Each structure stands twice: as structure tokens, then as C-alpha cells.
Structure 1
Amino acid sequence: MLSLLFALLDRFLVPAPDQARVGWLRGVSYAHRGLHGAGVPENSPSAFALAIERGMGIECDVQRTADGQAVVFHDWDLDRLTAETGPVIERRADALAKIQLTGSSDCIPTLRTFLDSVAGRAPLLIELKSKREIRVAPLCLAVRRGLEGYRGPVAVMSFDPRVCRWFGRHSPHVVHGLVVTEEGKRTLLATLKLHFAFWQARPQFLAWDVRDLPSKFAAAHRKRGFPVLTWTVRSAELAARAADCADGPIAEGAGVGA
């Protein structure tokens, strides 16, 4: 009875997306943080160029800078991926653009620089990095400004349902999705949290943790017309699971081309 109630609420609160707007997401293999590896750092211009050469889509991460711009970088701090230290959000975009990524001559790209380099040659997934204690509007605004005038296929997504909801309200022309991990939890409390996040986000697609597939929730909404992508596909075994349960893998390492 409870599952039926959830299904009814899902349909009422989160309408199925317009297939003409989201169909391009399907049937694409996305390079997780670009096609990175030895000598090619993640989220680097070189990794993005290799993904384009391979005919793949690109998944990348963005954060806000001290001067309200969006840069392509995964970690909250600079320590792991550069010779610098400290939070990304405390640096200006022009300063970050001069910081080299470890093991490469590439520097941290702004979102606008990244988009200009891709120029519509690959489908893009842009993950907005967020924390509960940080307001999402400034980051969402920075990303929206970066996307202005861009003509290629692009979608934004986040674990934070507030991000997805913001784009649905303030920039509905941008395709927006919810990133989900169940962390193996299938309890009633976990199910409630999942549905509440879905209702708050009102996404147009889902990006699901491959470790949690198959998932009844993902399968039900995939049947309704929501594209389901899956991350992070790192092996042939996970690639086979992605092919069975999702519409496109977000892959790296041995999962690319498996």
C-alpha cells in the first residue's frame, strides 16, 4: 500500500519530462571527469579533448569562485590535484586559471573556457558541487551565466535537490537532473528520503550510483520516460550492469569502451 502511495505521489509531484528535450541523454557513454589517466589529470582540458576524440560525452564538476564565477574542479580544496592548498571558493577565477594541475601543463579551466573549447562537439553533463550549509543560488547563477549562448547539448545535475529545483524554477530551458546514491540502503527511512529528494528536485533525468543497480525506483521512473544514467562505471562487469539497467554509463578507466 505504501509503495502505491509513493508511486502516485511521484507521478503527481514530478511529471515525466518532455522526450524531445531529454532524448539526447540516452545512448551516450560519458567520460567521467573527462578521459583522464596517466599524465592526463581529471577535469583537465587534455582529458576533455581526448574524450571528444574518442567520440564520448563528457561529465565534469563545477564550483563557485570567490568572485562568483564557475570553474571546473572536483575537490573542495586544491591540495590533491595541484601544488596549492586551501578551498577553491576562496580564490578568484583568474587566479585559479593560472594554477597547474599536478602532472600536467594544464591549468584549472573556467566553465566558460571549457564550453568554448568543446563548442558543441560532445554532449555535456555538468555536476554542481554543493554542501547543505552553503546557499546554492550563487553557484547556480554562476553556471547559468557560463551557459549563456552555449548551443551544444548540455545538462546540469547535482546530489543536492535544491540545485535541480533552482534550475527548474529559474532556468527551465536548461535540462536538469538529480544524482542519486542509495549506499546500499533499502530501509523505509532511506526510501522516504529518496522520494522526498525526488519531489523537491523535480528532475528531468536521474544519474544513479551503479553500485545500487538494479533499483526498483530507477526502473520505475525510467519506464515513465526519465533517462537514467549511471556512475561510476569502472569495469566490464559494471559496464554490463549499466547496459542492463540504464540509458548511458558515466565511465572511467577499464569501464570505458567495456
Structure 2
Amino acid sequence: MTILPDAFLKAPIAHRALHDLAAGRPENSLSAIRAAIKAGYGVEIDLQLSSDGQAMVFHDYDLGRLTIEDGPIRKRSATELARIPLKGGRDTVRTLPEVLALVAGQVPLLIEIKDQDGAMGGNVGRLEQATADALAGYEGPVAVMSFNPHSMLKMATLAPDVPRGLTTCSYSPEDWPLLPAGTLDRLRGIPDYEHVGASFISHEARDLNRARIADLATRGAAVLCWTIRTPEQEAEARKVARNITFEGYLPPIPS
């Protein structure tokens, strides 16, 4: 287990970077990342896989919500994606190495590897390999996490010195209609924390009072949470969580 650096427990972490469409900063864009760095916030980003095996900084599996085009992101090459504009700004879809070059250790970088199996199973590896390759030699506070425990098991082998965590939640059937009930029941209990060598979780804010969260905290887990959108939500979440992932407002940065 590699411990989460203290930097992740200080400045709040901007969810998908400090995005604001009104200001021309789409989520997971270089513009949003620059804004987070300038403001002194940590940065959270998501990774998806391109057709040529590159780690792309993008949240969705399909291009339609966030770009001017449609279709699965994994059907496009990194070069093709770099030409596709994000809605609401001048940015395009960029690679993890480009983001690492921009952040360059200035603020903590929290990386969520999106499930590539489709059902939280073990059919993963290409995106994890691309992530590990990009992070080799990176200097600065960085950590990886995923809803899929198999992803973190793979990262334990590929990049053992990079802190690992699990993105976790209540796994309500309404929010996860494509996953079988048995899978939801299993993941809800966060049974893989020790097995994957995690040192932190990032848990759904409205579910922070779950007994398993308190249990993990007593065992030394750093508890982060997602996604906080108001000062009132932040105050409530911080009764349990040691830091927040936020969007839609500007939380104070502790001195």
C-alpha cells in the first residue's frame, strides 16, 4: 500500500477540474485545469481509452454529451479526438501526458480510471497500461482510483508506487441499471479495499454515514467524497470526509 500524500487532504479538489461553461471552460479541459491550478485547488480528472490505446482525459463513454460529435470515444484515435471540440469552449479532447505536462506537480492530481470492462469485471488492462506509462517519472502528488477494483489491482502491478483508491457509493439500482443486483450488493460493502492495496476512498457524499465508511476511517483510510455543490453540503460532508471534490462554487482553501 502506498499512502495518499497529505497534499490531497488540504486544498479542495475541483471535480473534472474547475469547469464553468459560462466562462468557456468545459469539464476535463485544459482550460479548466489551468483555472484550478491558478486558484490553488487540486484537480480531479477522468480517463477513457482511445482506439489506439491512449489515455484520454474525458468522462463519458460516448462523445455526444460533451462534444460536437457522437459515438464511442474508444472508436476514435487520439489524433482524431484532438481535433474534436468540446462544447462550450475552444478546447478539444486531450491525452493524459498533455495534462501531466500542464499540471507538472503544481497541485495534487486525482485520476479516475473509468471502467473498461462494462460490468466491473476483470476485462481491463489497456487503459491501466497507458496510465502507468504516462505516470512513469511524473514528479508531483498524484493518485489513481476507480469504481472497478480490478482496475486498481492492475495498477498495483503496473505502478505500485502510485497511491491507489476506490471510487465508492451507495450503488443504488436506479443509478446503476446495467449492473446485476448481486454486483451492486457486493460493491456496496467495499470488500476490495484491502485486497487492492488502497489507501483512500472517494465516496458518494450523500452516503457518508454508512457504517463501512467509519470502519475504513478507523483502519486508516483517507476518506474523500464527491460531489459537493454548496457550502452547506461541504459543511455536512466534512463531518466525515477529510477532503471534498467539488463543482459549481468556490470553497475556501485552508491556510
- Quick check: TM above 0.5? yes
Counterpart Cα distance in 2 of 1:145 and 1:191:
31
- Distance in 2, matches of 1:23 and 1:119, equals 17
**Under a length normalisation based on structure 1, what TM-score does the superposition of the two structures give?**
0.86
Aligned-pair Cα RMSD in Å: 2.3
Map 1:76-115; keep pairs closer than 5 Å.
76-115=61-100
Structure 1 segment 197-236 matched on structure 2, within 5 A = 197-236=192-231
Tell me the residue number matched to 1:12. Answer: none
Q: 1:226 to 1:89 in 2, by over 3 A?
A: same
Asked if 1:49 is matched to 2:34, the reply is yes
Partner residue, 1:9? none
Work out the CA distance in 2 between the residues paired with 1:106 and 1:54.
Answer: 19
Instruction: List aligned pairs for 1:1-258, cutoff 5 A.
Output: 17=1, 19=3, 22-37=5-20, 38=22, 39-133=24-118, 135-183=123-171, 190=185, 193-254=188-249, 256-257=251-252
The alpha-carbon distance between structure 1 residues 235 and 255, as it changes in their structure 2 partners (threshold 3 A), is farther
Unaligned runs of 5+ in 1: 1-16
More helix per residue: 1
- Matched-pair contact (CA < 8 Å) for 1:234–1:255: no
Question: Once the 2 structures are TM-superposed, how far is the Cα of residue 25 of structure 1 from its aligned partner?
Answer: 2.3
Q: Which runs of no fewer than 5 residues in structure 2 stay unpaired?
A: 174-181
Q: TM-score, normalized by length of structure 2?
A: 0.86
1:191, distance to aligned residue in structure 2 (A): 6.6
Moved over 6 A (4+): none
Bigger radius of gyration:
1
Instruction: State the alpha-carbon separation in 2 of the partners of residues 67 and 102 from structure 1.
Output: 24
Q: Deviations over 1:214-233 (max 9, x none)?
A: 23211222222211110001
* 1:205 alignment partner AA: F
Q: State the percentage of identical aligned residues.
A: 40
- CA-CA distance at 1:40 after TM superposition: 1.3
1:8 paired residue number: none
Q: How far has the Cα of 1:88 moved from its partner?
A: 0.4
Looking at structure 1, the residues matched to 192 and 232 of structure 2 have their Cα atoms a distance apart, in angstroms, of: 29
Q: Is the 8 A contact 2:143 2:162 kept in 1?
A: yes
* AA partner of residue 180 (structure 1): T
Q: CA deviation at 1:131?
A: 4.0
Paired letter, 1:235: T
Q: How far 1:155 moved relative to its partner?
A: 0.4
* Alignment CA distance shift 1:25-1:117 (3 Å): same
In structure 2, what is the Cα distance between the partners aligned to 1:243 and 1:255?
Answer: 16
